[in-house]
Amino acid sequence: AAKVSRLRQHLRATYGKVVERAGGDNIQRRTSDLVNVFAPEDRDVKKNKGRIDAVVLQRLEEQCRIMRVNPDIAKQDKEVEEVLEKFAAAAEVFSAAADAFLTEELSERGIMMSSICKWRLDPDVAKAALAEQMVAAEARFQAATGLPAEEMRRLNMHEKMKWRIEDCVMRLRAKVAANMLLPRAADGGADAELSKTLVWRLGEWRGAEPGNGKTAPKPREYAVWTDGESWSLYQDRWDPKVSVWKGVLVDEGGVSGGAA
């Protein structure tokens, strides 16, 4: 009983007042507070395929091992049981938030590509389109969870989505026309001759998210060449062979909706 009591104290210290029976003067945690304990990029969250209730259970069992408490006995304690139930409910909200607010189209990479392919690098067009996408994402989340807008806006994932959109629009406003060393040859091989070419420098953006659970790549400098109908996306990279910064082709395609 004493060990289980210490386990309860450990849960309170880790997650706050999750259930009313926890006592004390602390305000009971809301669903959004429990969701915000974790982030999609947390290692344990990735290992458990985004299920935060599985993370809580895993950590509880590890703490039981450290304290030499039988996990099955610990789970029979009413407070421990209620904590696990609360996080099971929060896990559904966490998953719905990830599905709604962490889509490819709302990632930095997705916003950059849409800006090039569909929005002609126009920050005002991008801002309006992204506002519509955010409203649609919020509607999906609320349909999946039934949570009110106030609770939704308390979620870190929602807040980060807003910041990401605002930051990307600011970067589009800050784009500049400048020269970049690009390969003359169409194949752009490592030994291709370089020439100064006018491009739109877009600043630093994060690339595609890795699909293997690894850490997201660091932001890199990107630039776009376009003739109004087609485009080529380059990363600014250092070439140690010739001791210069040059553009390395990473993607190309066609522009919709007019000239960039």
What is the per-residue pLDDT for 26? 56
Residues 181 and 250 in one domain: yes
- Show which of 70, 96, 122 is a domain's final residue: 96
- Show which of 71, 96, 121 is a domain's final residue: 96
Domain of residue 135 covers 104-172
Residues 132 and 162 in one domain: yes
- 31 lies in a domain? yes
User: Which ranges in the chain belong to alpha helices (H)?
Assistant: 2-15, 31-35, 43-47, 52-67, 71-75, 78-101, 108-117, 123-145, 149-153, 156-173
Q: How far is CA 48 from the centre of its chain?
A: 17
What is the per-residue pLDDT for 97? 98
pLDDT digits (tens, 9 = 90+) for 154-180: 999 999 999 999 999 999 999 999 999
- 259 lies in a domain? no
**Which positions of the chain have pLDDT values less than 50?**
24, 212, 258-260
What is the per-residue pLDDT for 201? 98
- Show which of 96, 123, 155 is a domain's final residue: 96
- 135 lies in a domain? yes
Q: What total number of domains does the chain contain?
A: 3
Residues 189 and 240 in one domain: yes
Residues 179 and 167 in one domain: no
